[in-house]
Structures are given as structure tokens and as C-alpha cells.
Amino acid sequence: MSTYTIPVGPLHVALEEPMYFKVEVSGETVVSVDITAGHVHRGVEYLLSKRTIFQNITLTERICSLCSNSHPEAYCMAIEQIAGVVVSPRGEYLRAVADEIKRIASHLFNVGIMAHLIGFESLFMHAMEIREIMQDVKETVFGNRMDIGANCIGGVRYDLDDDQRSWLLGQLDRLEPQIDELVGIYTTNRSILNRTQGIGVLSPAEAIEYAVAGPVARASGVAYDVRVKSPYTAYDKLTVEVPTRTAGDVWSRAMIRLSEVKISIGLLRRLIEDLPDGPTAPAERPEIPAGEAIAKCEAPRGELIYYVRTNGTNKPERVKWRVPSFMNWDALCTMLKGARISDIALIVNSIDPCISCTER
Amino acid sequence: MTELPVDLEARLTAAAPAGLRLIQNTDAKGVTVLWCELADKNDLLGVAQEIKAVKGRLMTISVFQPTPPESDDDEEEDGDEKSDDGEAVPPASLGGIAIDGKSYELAYHFDLDGATLTIQVFLAADAAEVISLTPLFRNADWCERDYMENYSIHVIGHPDPRRLFLDPSIEPMALERLIPLSTLVNAASTKALWEKIISHQSDTPS
């Protein structure tokens, strides 16, 4: 049977950002996929080497919107290693609080968009309305709904007083039953199950071969979470549950994200209740000597790694990072093989694509 | 926390006959970071095979051109003091590649179940060739394409050496060239903001 090639993207209704797939199809079935990337390449790595070490905290936050807290966090952790700065216990707990708040909002966005792609608009709006609780939390605590500016070198730039802590716990109490309801719908609704189960499969062996990260890896049986494997900030003081599934399909990835939302709510309660006293950040900016360091953190999409090299000047010599989506794109070619044309958007969304992050 | 393979150092040393320098640090949270400089880039494949054998995972590859220690052109830097504390870059790498601002340093970051092992390889500017790790690590494909378009390094045996993020019409070696900031940020704005500021200035008595 003869095949022909159809374009998906670069501007596509199902993608918030531009990515161009050349999809070779035979009838209704995908035979192969070629990805042409680079539509939002901005040269941020180059720009980072032209700004000062401290200016770059603001710049790294703007690499991506949904994991905007993870970038400056990993960058600050790398600089702290070079400068020998130790973050105070309160600073570490507050960093983890910011991390988990962003994780919940990011995961809910992705599962919401999945409902939208299925055509289940009422569920999409319901999921986004639930997510709005976390958006309000961000706006109230940090003053902004996406770029929360929580991190600085040596700690955090925000603090929680007793009123804010009890208000935050109240918001989590409001959120949790709604998440339970959402999990129920995603577990039982026929429209969801029919459209998402058994499609976009990545086997456990393929997940290891492609070195995928985050919920994509965990939905294919790879129990890897940076918070557990190489703990940072306050995660060495917490027990982080790592949910895994083995089916490796679109539905499993969504369910992993929903499970992680539940786990994050639990972690947030512990962090807020056990918040130690003390300073949130050092009073003065440290001197940054020459050196190199690696820092990793678990962004909403998985392992984020930063490599920073300094030479004793006020500008970093090299900053390189790799986002979890970077490997997930290549794995997408395997997930899409044999899929129906109508499922392409759903499968692409299931890796929780982050294009600005990947192309930098 | 993370259990490193007990024979890791022996494996790496055996795989790098030209020599290596291994440093290991464990932080207060029990996270181990290993740095391993190779004297000869030709040992890279053997070392990578050993890492693959102990179930290592390639995380990413960082490439850059280290600046020479003393000749910092526009920064007011006291180079003499820095070179004494042992942290500063030596004038030549392990293996004798001169750090002249044009030579390359490649850092391959591997994950060993939570620990990070970085293998550092040095390339002279006139012999900027390195073997591809794609036969061992599937995800080296994108990592190598990523640095190939930014530096003039030839990767031997890459199965698909196309551009990754930069359009083929863009000049190569993007990170080796000076790109003016206005070009980089594609600076374009209207005069509206400027005119607003000027009109406000004339309103306020000076």
C-alpha cells in the first residue's frame, strides 16, 4: 500500500507552541514521523553567558512557563555548590513548597488539555477550574500566576507567615476532594478510557533505551524520581512516594500525573506544618569563585539538569541545561508509530510537551 | 543513598589506558558527584562502554571553549591570585591540550542511579573530532546534533547529522561567534514607550 506524508504543525490547534511533524501515513495509520524543531529557539544559552550570574536567575525563570520555578532553582543550586553557600533549613523547605505548588498546577494543566483534545470540553473546563485554586495560591503567595520568582542564591525570596500557612492548608483541603473526584472521572469515564488506553505505547525497554524522564518514564515502569534518587532542598527529610505504571500508554501518563498531584498535596501539608524557623536567605550576596557544578531537580516533567562553569568573573563561562522533554521528543517517534491520525495530538500532548524548554 | 558499583574506578581506569583523573564528592544529603577527566579523547568509547555495562544513563553533553586563565580581555580580573587556589583552569588540560580559548571541552554527564558521573574530554581546535556515542546510547543522537550546530566539532559516525534547532540557512558555530544582542533578541519596538517617557518628563518640573 502506498504511503503519503502529511504535515502536523508547526502551528497546530492542539499545540500551544510550534513544532513541525512530518507524518508518513498509510491510509489512517502512521508509518513514521520526522520532527523538525527549532521554531522557538531563542539562543538563551548564549544570552546567559552575556549576563551576570545574578541577572541570570531572572532569565532562567523565563525559559519556560510551566516549569519556571525549576530552572532558577537548579541554576541557584549549581551556583551555591560553586560558592559553598549552604541554604538555611527554612529556605530549603520554602523551595520545596514552591516546587510542589508549580508541580500541581503543571500536571492539572496537562490532564485538562487531554480532556480538551478528546473533545470533552466540560471536563477540560472543570480541570482548569480546579487548577485555578493553585493559580490563586501562586498569585496570593508569590504575587504572580506563572513566574513566581521564588529563588535566589542561598535561599528564597518569599516567606510564609502563620496566617498564610493556615490559609494555604485550607486551600489544600479545598483542592483535595476535587482531585479525588477528577481521578474518579479519569478512571471510569468511557470517553476517556476509549480514547486514551492502549495508544501511544512506550514499553519499559523502550523507555530505558530512549532515557525518557518524569511521568513519561514512570508510566512505562521506570521508578526514577530525582527527589528520591538524588535528594535536594528538603526532600531528604520527606518520604516521596514514586507511583509507577507499566502500560506506558496515554492514559497511564495522565494517571501518573493525577497520582503525583495527590502526593504533592501530602508533601505540601508536611512542608507547611513542619516549616522550620530561621532566615530564608543570606543577608548578603556571596562571592562566586571559579568552579564547576552540576545540579539536578525534579521538574514537573522530570529530571532537569544544570551544568554551570564559572571563571571568577561576574558572568558565567558556560551554563548548559537539559530539560526532561528533550528525550521525550525522540521517543515520540516510537509512540506515534502505528497510531491513527486522529490520535496524533493526544499522543503528542501525553509527553506534556514543552517546546520553549527544549529548544531554548 | 546511591550504591555505586564497587569496581567503578577500576573499570574506568582499565578502559582509559592514556590516563584519567577521577574526583569524587558526596554532599550532606548523600548525593555523589564524580568528575573524570580523560587524557585522550580516543578512550571515550571504551569508558562509555564500561558506564553502559554498569547501567549508566546518558543525561546530556555540555560543550564549551574554556577561556585561557590569564588573558581575560575585558574583565578586570586578577589572574595571578586565582591560579594559586587550585580551582582555576590549568594552562593545559590533562593530556596536554592547550587551553587557548579555541580548544573544546566536552562534558558527558551520566546518571548512575542518582549519582552523576561527568566524563570530560578535551579537543584541540585543529583536531576537533570525536566519536559518536549513539551506538551505545540512543539519546546521544539529539545531544550530539545539539552541539554540532553550535560548535565546529565533527562527530564521527553520527547516523543523522542534520541540524536540530537551527535552520540550515543559519551560519554554523552559533556559540563560537559574536552575535550582537540586538540580533539575538530580534530587537524591535515602536517609539510609543519612548514618546510616553519624554512627554512625562516635560510634564514634571525639573
Q: How many CB pairs under 8 A join A and B?
A: 114
Cβ distance B163 to A38 less than 8 Å, yes or no, reads: yes
Domain B8-203 homologous superfamily, CATH: NADH:ubiquinone oxidoreductase Nqo5 subunit (3.30.460.80)
Q: What is the per-residue pLDDT across B162-186, written as a single tens digit (0 to 9) for each?
A: 888 887 887 778 788 777 776 666 6
User: Is the CB of residue A192 less than 8 Å from the CB of residue A186?
Assistant: yes
| Residue A165: burial class (beta carbons within 10 Å; 0-12, 13-18, 19+) | middle
| Percentage of chain B modeled with pLDDT above 90 | 11
Q: Does A305 touch chain B (CB under 8 A)?
A: yes
Give the amino acid at B153: I
Cβ distance A330 to B116 less than 8 Å, yes or no, reads: no
Given a cut of 50, is residue B82 above it in pLDDT? no
Q: Compute the average pLDDT of residues A336-345.
A: 88
CA pair distance A58, A60, nearest whole angstrom: 6
Residue A203, pLDDT score: 92
The ranges assigned to domains in chain B are 8-203
CA pair distance A258, A186, nearest whole angstrom: 9
User: Is the CB of residue B61 less than 8 Å from the CB of residue B117?
Assistant: no
Which residue out of B1, B87, B143, B144 would a mutagenesis test of the A interface target, given it has the greatest number of A Cβ atoms within 10 Å?
A: B87
| Residue B200: burial class (beta carbons within 10 Å; 0-12, 13-18, 19+) | exposed
Domains of chain A and CATH, by start: 4-359 (1.10.645.10)
Lookup: cell for A139? 498569585
Residue B15, pLDDT score: 81
pLDDT band at B189 (very low <50, low <70, confident <90, very high): low
Any idea what DSSP says for residue A119? Answer: T
Q: Which of B141, B167, B174 sits opposite A330 (nearest CB)?
A: B141
Q: Does A119 touch chain B (CB under 8 A)?
A: no
Residue A187, pLDDT score: 94
Of A228-232, B11-15, B41-45, B140-144, which range is least confident?
Answer: B11-15
Cβ distance A230 to B164 less than 8 Å, yes or no, reads: no
Residue B90, pLDDT score: 52
Give the relative orientation of helices A89-118 and A162-188 as an angle to the nearest 10 degrees.
30
Residue B110, pLDDT score: 93
Cβ distance B75 to A313 less than 8 Å, yes or no, reads: yes
ipTM: 0.86
CA pair distance B15, B53, nearest whole angstrom: 12
pLDDT band at B79 (very low <50, low <70, confident <90, very high): very low
Cβ distance A50 to B77 less than 8 Å, yes or no, reads: no
For B137, list phi and psi in degrees, rounded to 5. -125, 115
Q: What is the per-residue pLDDT across A160-181, written as a single tens digit (0 to 9) for each?
A: 999 999 999 999 999 999 999 9
Q: Compute the average pLDDT of residues A68-96.
A: 93
Residue A60, pLDDT score: 92
Q: Compute the average pLDDT of residues B69-79.
A: 49
- Look at A197 and B194; give whichever has higher pLDDT: A197
CA pair distance A275, B172, nearest whole angstrom: 50
Residue B205, pLDDT score: 61
Residue B67: list chain A partners with CB under 8 A.
Answer: 311, 317
Distance from CA of B72 to the nearest CA of A (A): 9
For B202, list phi and psi in degrees, rounded to 5. -70, -25
Q: What is the per-residue pLDDT across B90-107, written as a single tens digit (0 to 9) for each?
A: 577 777 777 777 888 899
